[in-house]
Amino acid sequence: MVIKMPWMTSTANGVRIQVKVQPRSSKNEITGVTGDFLRVRLTAPPVEGEANKALVKYLGQVFGCAAGRIKILRGAAGRCKLVEVTGITEEAVRQQLKPMLPE
């Protein structure tokens, strides 16, 4: 059975994920899902694109892919962002996030 995750959609090249970022946190971590957003805490401050760079780098580590395959499509200046990860499937994202998300 496939569980529909409203914060993630498949594209021809990969997946798009709606992310809500909390900058200036004590550590980089995925804290769960709230509504239609995957919640991510980042240590970087929200100045001069530092949080965006940290988000791309952190998601690359989480999904085991190069940061170049991750793009922020929308929301670069806000906390709610639309991120595209190319070369990955929804199933792969689910597997990577499973240990980090509460049931």
What is the model's pLDDT at position 27?
96
Question: What's the domain range around 93?
Answer: 8-97
Spatial neighbors of 2 by CB under 8 A, at least 6 apart, are none
pTM: 0.91
Residue 43 carries which DSSP code? S
Residue 103 lies in a domain: no
pLDDT digit string, tens, across residues 36-95: 999 999 999 999 999 999 999 999 999 999 999 999 999 999 999 999 999 999 999 999
Task: Place 1 in a pLDDT band, splitting at 50, 70 and 90.
Answer: very low
pLDDT digit string, tens, across residues 34-50: 989 999 999 999 999 99
Buried b (16+ CB within 10 A) or exposed e, 14-40: bbbbbbbbebeeeebbbeebeeebbbb
What is the CATH number for 63?
3.30.1200.10
Task: Place 21 in a pLDDT band, splitting at 50, 70 and 90.
Answer: very high
Residue 75's Cβ-count burial label (10 Å; 0-12, 13-18, 19+) is: middle
The helix (run of H) or strand (run of E) holding residue 33 is strand 29-34
What is the model's pLDDT at position 100?
84
Mean pLDDT of 14-37: 95
Spatial neighbors of 66 by CB under 8 A, at least 6 apart, are 60
Total number of domains in the chain: 1
Residue 18 lies in a domain: yes
